[in-house]
Amino acid sequence: MPPAGNKAAVPPPALLALANAVPNVFWSVLGLGPLGVYCYQWVARPWLYGWLAVSLFAYAVPVAWLGWWQLSRAPGPYRRLGVAAVNRVTQHGDFVNRLLRRRYPRYRPVVPRAAVAALVRTTYQQERFHLALFLFCLAISGYAAAHGQVGWAGLLALTNVGYNLYPMWLQQYVRVRLAAGAPRLGPQ
């Protein structure tokens, strides 16, 4: 291992992508695994395809509408709900950044002011993705409950909260922090 003074200031883009993909894949398997199993084994295909098509309309939701159901304009409520803690174990979160800083001590995930607008657009796109999936999972949970599969309905509802509701709140939290001029995006 080379001396600390010879280390690059930032990790190569491929390493950043890989380091941030690992938590993304982990949470996706954990959140979507039960959904996939249930849909494959139990959901009638016309219902499955219909709800999938309907849920995709969430991508057409205007940005202004997303602001209407934003939880808060201040970071406090998000922190009380544990959203800042969730950010520690997601892609671009504290855990990934801490691991990267072990090898690249000068690496700091600070977003330049010029990139803030692009980051805000990305948060809206990610919120729409999780909204579409939230609606789909909600419909599938309802399907399970309607068919008397209470265990499945509960499991799907629980994973829906963890995989979709909290990530939507996380996107809102990031925007709130950016609007407040927070110097970095990780939780405080």
Structural domain harbouring 122: 31-179
Assigned token pair, 185: 């995006």
Rounded to whole angstroms, what are the CA distances from 181 to 2, 88, 111, 112, 172?
37, 20, 11, 12, 14
Is 99 inside any structural domain?
A: yes
Is 53 inside any structural domain?
A: yes
Is 104 inside any structural domain?
A: yes
Is 127 inside any structural domain?
A: yes
Give the separation between CA 186 and CA 188, rounded to whole angstroms.
Answer: 7
Contact by Cβ (8 Å): 125, 131: no
Is 17 inside any structural domain?
A: no
Is 151 inside any structural domain?
A: yes
Give the separation between CA 159 and CA 149, rounded to whole angstroms.
Answer: 16
Give the separation between CA 36 and CA 38, rounded to whole angstroms.
Answer: 5
**What φ, ψ does residue 75 adopt, rounded to 5°?**
-75, -20
Say what the pTM is: 0.87
Question: Mind listing the pLDDT tens digit for each residue in 113-150?
Answer: 778 888 999 999 999 999 999 999 999 999 999 999 99
Assigned token pair, 159: 């994973």
Q: How many domains does the chain have?
A: 1
Is 35 inside any structural domain?
A: yes
Question: Mind listing the pLDDT tens digit for each residue in 33-64?
Answer: 999 999 999 999 999 999 999 999 999 999 99
Is 20 inside any structural domain?
A: no
- pLDDT-derived band at 1, boundaries 50, 70, 90: very low
**All residues at 6 or more sequence positions from 10 whose CB lies less than 8 Å from its CB, including other chains:** 16, 104, 106, 107
